[in-house]
Amino acid sequence: MAAPTAVLQSEWTKVKSVRSTIWTLVAALAVTIVISGLICLVTNLQWDNVEQRQRVSFDPTSSSFSGIFLGQLALIVFGVLVVSSEYSTGMIRTSLAAVPQRGTFYASKVAVTGALALIVGMATSFLSFFIGQALLGSHSTSISDPGVLRAVVGGGIYMTLMVLFSAGVATMLRSPMLSLGLLMPLFFLISPILANVPGAKVVARYFPDRAGSKIMQVLSVSDDRPYGPWTGLGIMALWVIASLVGGYVLVKKRDA
């Protein structure tokens, strides 16, 4: 019987041994910070051309997270690769032979994946915020202002949940191509399109990305989502739980 600490160490070794998984986290951090910073800089430079209506609804905190839309692409890839790479290479048979307790094996993989995502997510969120606010100049806000710290911490949690959701889906589907073929259209095509279609937006607002991103808002003047920041994050958490439970059930039942 494998000791949980040994299994955790084994999963950490697997992750750091595959360079592609580590580089996806680096890419997520870099893309999010760079894109968010550029948008904040452009906003500051073009402020005199911004309409009064847009100035009233401007959320400097949310502006610092503008790059997450692209940064989460790398997060999704990380969540998928950290699970499905073992299936695509056939190493899953060796892993399950070494750790026959599938619950322990799966929990350790999820724990290591989540811990890495949380560290990178929090670093990305705080760096994006402070760099973005510096580039916004006089239009910036302070982390001590009401709701701002919640939004910044929530940004790191959002990124962590996105990774875990992707990992759960990848566990169920086992194929990296199939997993990415489902997740990429969902978050980069279906969700944004439905969110702007009258009638369909009622459904889209409960998708994991739409619900979870609410936590990163401080102002919601033109927001039509009928829930608050923590409720939105809770909705996303339910999607993640369903994904991980589905992965656990299939890991326990089917052959490697």
pLDDT band at 1 (very low <50, low <70, confident <90, very high): low
36 and 64 Cβ atoms separated by less than 8 Å: yes
171 and 83 Cβ atoms separated by less than 8 Å: yes
Average pLDDT of span 217-231: 82
Average pLDDT of span 109-129: 96
103 and 252 Cβ atoms separated by less than 8 Å: yes
Q: What angle do CA 196, 29, 109 make, to 5 degrees?
A: 95
Residue whose pair of structure tokens reads 């009622």 in the numeric block: 202
Calpha distance 255→253 (Å, rounded): 7
pLDDT of residue 213: 93
The predicted-structure confidence for 177-188, as pLDDT tens digits, reads as follows 999 999 999 999
pLDDT band at 222 (very low <50, low <70, confident <90, very high): low
Number of domains observed in the structure of the chain: 1
* Burial (0-12, 13-18, 19+ Cβ within 10 Å), 69: middle
Q: What angle do CA 164, 168, 172 make, to 5 degrees?
A: 165
Q: Where are the alpha helices (DSSP H) in 90-147?
A: 91-98, 102-136
> Count of residues for the chain?
256
204 and 210 Cβ atoms separated by less than 8 Å: yes
Domain that residue 197 falls in = 4-253
Average pLDDT of span 221-227: 74
Calpha distance 107→111 (Å, rounded): 6
Calpha distance 7→37 (Å, rounded): 39
pLDDT of residue 61: 94
Q: Could you count the other beta carbons within 10 Å of the beta carbon of residue 29?
A: 21
| Separation in Å, CA 27 to CA 24, 78, 134, 137 | 5, 10, 22, 26
On the CB side of 161, how many CA atoms lie within 13 Å of its CA? 25
Calpha distance 248→96 (Å, rounded): 14
Whether pLDDT at 65 is above 90: yes
Q: What mean pLDDT, rounded, does the chain reach?
A: 90
